[in-house]
Amino acid sequence: RLDGEEAKRQRLAAGEVGLDIYSMRERLAESGLVYVDSLEELGDFNGIDCRGK
């Protein structure tokens, strides 16, 4: 277990995202979560204009 935890710490330190390390991205997408790469792509969210922020 300790070896696995150390490996995950190293991956996180290298910049890998926890969503990918723990295979969460696919499950969250199946639940309806939508990923965007920028606030411009997000546009309006909950009545807030996120463009240009």
Average pLDDT on 4-22 reads 94
Distance (Å, whole) CA 13 – CA 41: 28
Only one residue has tokens 């890998």, namely: 16
Q: Indicate if the pLDDT at residue 38 is higher than 90.
A: no
Q: Indicate if the pLDDT at residue 23 is higher than 90.
A: yes
Q: Indicate if the pLDDT at residue 29 is higher than 80.
A: yes
Name the band, by pLDDT with cuts 50, 70 and 90, for residue 42: confident
Average pLDDT on 4-27 reads 94
Distance (Å, whole) CA 25 – CA 34: 10
E strand spans, 1-53: 44-45, 48-49
pLDDT value of position 53 = 72
